[in-house]
Amino acid sequence: MYDHDPGELEDLGWEEFIRRQWDAVYTAYRAGRGRRTLCRGWADLLEAGLGCTQEVADLLVRAEILDRADRDLELTTDPRALVTGMTRVIADVRADLLEFGPDELGSQKPGPARPGLLDRHAALQDFLRDYAFVEDTG
C-alpha cells in the first residue's frame, strides 16, 4: 500500500480500514488534493478491499480513474453526486476483473483466484453501499 503500513489493516480491521480509506478518497476529491493523491487513495482502498496486489490495484485505478476522464469526479461539487460517482467506480471494477487475464492478474492467477477476487469485490461493494448511503435519522 502507498500511504499505509501493512500492519495498519490488521490493527484496524478490514471494515474500519475501508471506512477510513473511503472517507480519505472522498475528502481528497472535496479538497482538490490532486490526481496523485486520489489515485494513491483509490489504490490503497482497492488493494485492501479486494485483497489483491498493489499491481492489480494500480491497473484498476488506471482503468477506472486515469483513463476515465468522463467520470469528472474531481469537479463534482454535490456531495451526494460524488458519493454516487465513487460507488460507480467500485461497481465498474468488476468488469475490469472479468477482463483481466493472467498477465494483468500476475500472482492472482486465473481460475480459482478470479472467483475469489469477484467474491471480495462483491463484499466490498456491499459494504460500501451500506456505509456510503446510511441515512441520517438524527
Q: What is the DSSP string of 108-121?
A: S-TTTHHHHHHHHH
Angstrom distance (rounded) from CA 113 to CA 46: 16
How far are the Cα atoms of 26, 38, 54, 131 from residue 20, in angstroms, in the given order? 10, 14, 18, 11
Residues of the domain holding 58: 6-129
Query: pLDDT by residue (tens digit) across 4-50?
Result: 677 887 889 999 999 999 999 999 999 988 889 999 999 999 999 99
The structural domain count of the chain equals: 1
Query: pTM of the entire structure?
Result: 0.85
Q: Are 48 and 18 in contact (CB under 8 A)?
A: yes
Residue reference for cell 482538490 = 32
Residue 134 falls inside a structural domain: no
Residue 98 falls inside a structural domain: yes
Residue 137 falls inside a structural domain: no
